[in-house]
Structure 1
Amino acid sequence: MSTIGLLPQRWRTRDGDPHQAEALAGVLDTAPLVPSGRGLVLCTRIGTQQLLPALVALKSLQRQLGRGRCVVLDDGTLTGADRTTLAHHLGDPPITPRGSMRLGGFPPGCQWEPLIAALDGRGGEYWLLIDPHAVALGEVPEIARAIAANRSLWGPGLFGLSAGGPRRPDAERIIAALAESDLTAREMLMVREAAPVALPADRYRTNPAQRDLPACALAAFGKPGPRAAAAHAAASRTALAMLGQ
């Protein structure tokens, strides 16, 4: 029996694909994530529409790493019921309300808020920012080694900041530098890091076709559309099957 009709409308996917929504809804039947304490933070910024894919992203990656606690940044649309669901499935993570973060001159929104949270919180913990539409599909030794060596990393759907590294830069200065550069904010911040790790493009991919998923350790689905929705659904089913093992 299909579960799509039981999902709140706000949890339906951005593409309106019932097969994608049903695949993602399977995460609600998986066991809650068990936080492993301090040392590694898995952080994502979401709203109510990204709740189901974010659960898949966080649970699948935490399972492959075998460690980590979650932090959620609310884009302002999470409901009380959403927070209850997140608390149950993610080990009662801190959920930062929109507008509560001291931006200090940085513009609000999805680009800077996760970065500021990680930059401010990295003093004693490694922070790994995760796109809510990323899915871990198998072992991720490159990520595990980077974290163990306390080296920052970047790749599709991921941005890791080592513990004890540089804190937030001067807002006015970096925004002015970005205006004169072809670099993104994340690329400019990564330049400041010591020996950062670039995840291999053959195993960490953006918007892979469904037929290419078996070769992926992690896939990030940032592109809307029916093909991406079908691949995201297939990737989610694979990840959820692993969570059930």
Structure 2
Amino acid sequence: MNILSLVVQRTRAAINRRRFERELAAILRTPPVVLGKDAFTALSMVHHRDVESYLLAIKSFCRFMHPRRIVMVADPSITDADRSRIASHVIGIEIVRAEDYQEQGVPQGGTWERLMAISEYSQSDYVIQIDADTVTLSEMAEVKKAIAEATSFALATEDGQQLVSCVEAARWAKARADSGEHIQILAEANLDRLPESESARYVRGCSGFSGFAQGSFSRAQLKAFSQTMGSILGARWAAWGTEQFSSNFMVSNSPRACVLPHPKYCHPGREKPGTVFLHFIGYVRFTTGRYARAARETCAALGAT
């Protein structure tokens, strides 16, 4: 990419970001969310910089889903003012500290505290993990079915993804891994070294939107898995990306796990007619004005004043 193209790309992204922030401001003028009666918990980890986008994510989600419990794992950057603002917009929300979900022998940061929290909340309820950079556009029949059937689910990253054996997943990753590759690929390339590799399954999903059936995994299982992978990858196991890999593994090895259909659930670069859920993952977040349009349309639907 030449310098001119890079400048154009960055300028476009900056403009789209400002458009999004302008449209997002209306989320503070929409009615608060109240707890519903659907038999599941909606859980998110939120950073100070993401408070308003979290409100967009959870309010758009609760247009179509009605969790009986909403939990926010507060990053240490969350202030008292942030807590008050969120609590006034999500009535009945439970705000817990990320620090309370740190465990010796398990990486810290990189949303690991979120996965540790899920391991506990999923002991008593179905849990849906929803990122602050997501927008729900329409009814999610597959998600409702997963809850009703106590089936964990993963968010696909491309068409045709399915659960495969760890041996097959490792074979795919080894063909793409090298010494400088992203930690997720390196971890996947070593799935065949797990003691249960012949029977365990894996899908290369995105942890930004995941469903965990009640009792699907425990804190002890997560800690043991982390320690095993740490013994294989050494210091690199502490890198950003290991939580998503671990989340994928926990979902994949839950009974009757499934993968949400793509691109019905996808990131904006793959959106098609009929898409019901968008994850505005970082590298495509502001390449277009779609995030701003989604914010505007959602706030209008919610009755922004």
State the TM-score, normalizing by the size of structure 1. Answer: 0.83
**Alignment check: 8 A CA contact 1:207 1:223 kept:** no
State the TM-score, normalizing by the size of structure 2. Answer: 0.68
- Matched AA of 1:19: R
> Any idea what SS the aligned residue of 2:269 has?
coil
Taking only aligned residues, the RMSD between alpha carbons, in angstroms, comes to 2.7
The residue number in structure 1 matching 2:251 is 190
Identify which of 162, 172, 189 aligns with 2:213.
162
CA displacement 1:187-237 (0-9 Å, x = unmatched): 22123201112111121111337xx46532000011246744621111122
* Aligned-residue offset at 1:54: 0.7
> Any idea what SS the aligned residue of 1:164 has?
coil
Choose 154-163 or 47-56, whichever is displaced more: 154-163
Unaligned stretches of 5+ in structure 1? 1-13
> Any idea what SS the aligned residue of 2:299 has?
helix
**Alignment check: 8 A CA contact 1:126 1:150 kept:** yes
Show the 5 A alignment for 1:58-77.
Answer: 58-77=58-77
The residue number in structure 1 matching 2:264 is 203
Question: Partners of 2:68 and 2:288 in 1: how far apart?
Answer: 28
- Matched AA of 2:44: T
Show the 5 A alignment for 1:208-227.
Answer: 208=269, 212=271, 214-224=273-283, 227=286
Structure number having the greater helix percentage: 2
| Count of equivalent residues | 230
The residue number in structure 1 matching 2:91 is 91
CA displacement 1:103-133 (0-9 Å, x = unmatched): 2421111332111111111122111111110
Percent identical across equivalent pairs?
Answer: 24
Unaligned stretches of 5+ in structure 2? 1-12, 156-205
Identify which of 214, 227, 231 aligns with 1:172.
227
* Aligned-residue offset at 1:37: 5.6
The structure whose RCO (Cα within 8 Å, separation 6+) is larger is: 2
Choose 179-188 or 55-64, whichever is displaced more: 179-188
Question: Partners of 2:81 and 2:49 in 1: how far apart?
Answer: 13
Look at both structures and tell me which one has the larger radius of gyration over its CA atoms: 2
Choose 219-228 or 64-73, whichever is displaced more: 219-228
CA displacement 1:34-77 (0-9 Å, x = unmatched): 01268311111111111111111111112211334211111111
Runs (4+) of structure 1 moved beyond 4 Å? 177-183
The residue number in structure 2 matching 1:123 is 123
Distance 1:206 1:68, change over 3 A: farther
